[in-house]
């Protein structure tokens, strides 16, 4: 029943435009992130809901084309040695009709994040699965690849909407995946080659003690490091550096409840255990040949569902900073439930472990 409910949540959370709202009942998440949506579309492809996935990809392509002048301006300015202000960069999240976030929002968030554009290209390649590109979509893909190639060196916000030092391993991994996907989609080796310097920078600056770290100056592990191998392919799952990273995530971030924390020191809603990261770890184990470990993690995710099958963003029963749960509840309300990204990762992990 959980699988059916997760598919239902994703489809009910999809706007007629094709966009996926991050959470339909959590006003602060009332936007469509390219990052969340890429995983939602991939999950729907995995379970055979290709029409819904296609609607998302069509919405992304249209939204990006509507912002073509902004994107081309950013690429041109970066090439000229300029660094555009964050508000002059392409948005990380859009309104459901494809517009930019309202400037008068009650909770304005930093909106310069590169990762979602790479994640979209990765998900698009899987969706098309060898289908011949039409000229318009190829033109959009090429523009996004140029944007990724131009912008990856700039400091931006992470997948957690946090700046830290502006450099994040998971962001660069998404760029690698996006550029390689774009190169294959366009049958253009020169585009695919632009992923090389990004991978080299990751390997040169984001390793410590034989494993990956959050940032060049932050030795902690982060749950988003799970994506470096599965699905973004910076290195294969069996690479010793990946295996050491997974071991560190198990040691540092797997909580007593059975889920995965984002990172040590997290205080958002107390810094609880995130379902989407637990499913990400399950996905990694399934691909790495340990379906039993994957199933155990998936069991924990299912145990966190509400009676109607809805999955939250995180659970706070073993929060790192319990005193920080209530301040966030008073500010924004209860933990976002359902979170579409949680349902998407659960579906992907379940399919990989089956």
Assess whether pLDDT exceeds 90 at residue 109.
Answer: no
pLDDT, mean over the chain: 95
249 neighbors 224 (Cβ within 8 angstroms): no
The domains of the chain are located at: 2-353
98 neighbors 63 (Cβ within 8 angstroms): yes
The per-residue pLDDT for 304 is 97
* pTM of the entire predicted model: 0.96
Quote the distance between the C-alpha of residue 136 and its chain's center: 25
- What is the C-alpha to C-alpha distance for residues 35 and 119, in angstroms, rounded to an integer? 6
**What are the two backbone dihedrals, phi and then psi, of residue 273, each rounded to the nearest 5 degrees?**
-95, 130
Helices (H) and strands (E) in the chain, counts: 14, 7
Assess whether pLDDT exceeds 80 at residue 74.
Answer: yes
- What is the C-alpha to C-alpha distance for residues 24 and 31, in angstroms, rounded to an integer? 9
The per-residue pLDDT for 1 is 58
Assess whether pLDDT exceeds 90 at residue 167.
Answer: yes
- CB neighbour list of residue 158: distance below 8 Å, 6 or more residues apart: 113, 115, 164, 168, 170, 171, 224
Assess whether pLDDT exceeds 60 at residue 345.
Answer: yes
Across the range 34-49, mean pLDDT stands at 98
The per-residue pLDDT for 161 is 94
Helix 275-287, helix 340-353: angle, nearest 10: 20
Residue 131 has, within 13 A of its CA and on its CB side, a CA count of 12
pLDDT band at 287 (very low <50, low <70, confident <90, very high): very high
SS3 content of the chain, % helix, strand, coil (to 5): 55, 5, 40
The per-residue pLDDT for 100 is 61
The per-residue pLDDT for 101 is 53
CATH no., domain 2-353: 1.50.10.10
The per-residue pLDDT for 349 is 98
The per-residue pLDDT for 102 is 43
pLDDT band at 257 (very low <50, low <70, confident <90, very high): confident
pLDDT band at 98 (very low <50, low <70, confident <90, very high): low
pLDDT band at 97 (very low <50, low <70, confident <90, very high): confident
Assess whether pLDDT exceeds 80 at residue 108.
Answer: no
């Amino acid at each position: 029943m959980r699988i059916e409910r997760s598919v239902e949540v994703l489809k009910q959370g999809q706007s007629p435009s094709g966009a996926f709202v991050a959470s339909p009942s959590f006003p602060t998440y009332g936007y469509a992130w390219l990052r969340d949506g890429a995983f939602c579309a991939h999950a729907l492809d995995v379970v055979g809901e290709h029409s819904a996935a296609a609607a998302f990809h069509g919405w992304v392509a249209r939204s990006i084309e509507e912002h073509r002048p902004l994107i081309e301006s950013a690429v041109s300015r970066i090439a000229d040695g300029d660094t555009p202000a964050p508000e002059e960069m392409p948005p990380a999240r859009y309104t459901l009709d494809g517009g930019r976030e309202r400037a008068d929002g009650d909770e304005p968030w930093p909106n310069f994040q590169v990762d979602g554009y790479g994640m979209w290209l990765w998900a698009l390649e899987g969706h098309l699965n060898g289908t011949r590109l039409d000229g318009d979509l190829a033109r959009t893909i090429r523009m996004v690849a140029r944007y990724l190639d131009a912008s990856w060196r700039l400091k931006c916000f992470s997948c957690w909407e946090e700046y830290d030092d502006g450099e994040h391993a998971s962001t660069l991994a998404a760029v690698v995946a996006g550029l390689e996907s774009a190169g294959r989609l366009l049958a253009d080796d020169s585009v695919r080659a632009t992923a090389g310097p990004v991978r080299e920078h990751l390997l040169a600056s984001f390793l410590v003690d034989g494993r990956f770290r959050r940032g060049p100056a932050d030795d902690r592990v982060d749950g988003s490091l799970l994506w470096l191998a599965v699905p973004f392919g910076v290195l294969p799952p069996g690479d010793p550096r990946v295996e050491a990273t997974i071991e560190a995530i198990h040691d540092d971030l797997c909580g007593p409840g059975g889920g995965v924390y984002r990172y040590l020191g997290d205080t958002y809603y107390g810094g609880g255990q995130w379902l989407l990261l637990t499913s990400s770890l399950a996905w990694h184990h399934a691909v790495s040949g340990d379906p039993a470990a994957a199933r155990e993690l998936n069991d924990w995710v299912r145990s966190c569902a509400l009676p109607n099958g809805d999955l939250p963003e995180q659970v706070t029963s073993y929060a790192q900073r319990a005193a920080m749960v209530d301040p966030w509840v008073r500010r924004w309300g209860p933990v976002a439930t359902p979170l579409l990204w949680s349902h998407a990762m659960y579906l992907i992990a379940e399919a990989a472990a089956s």
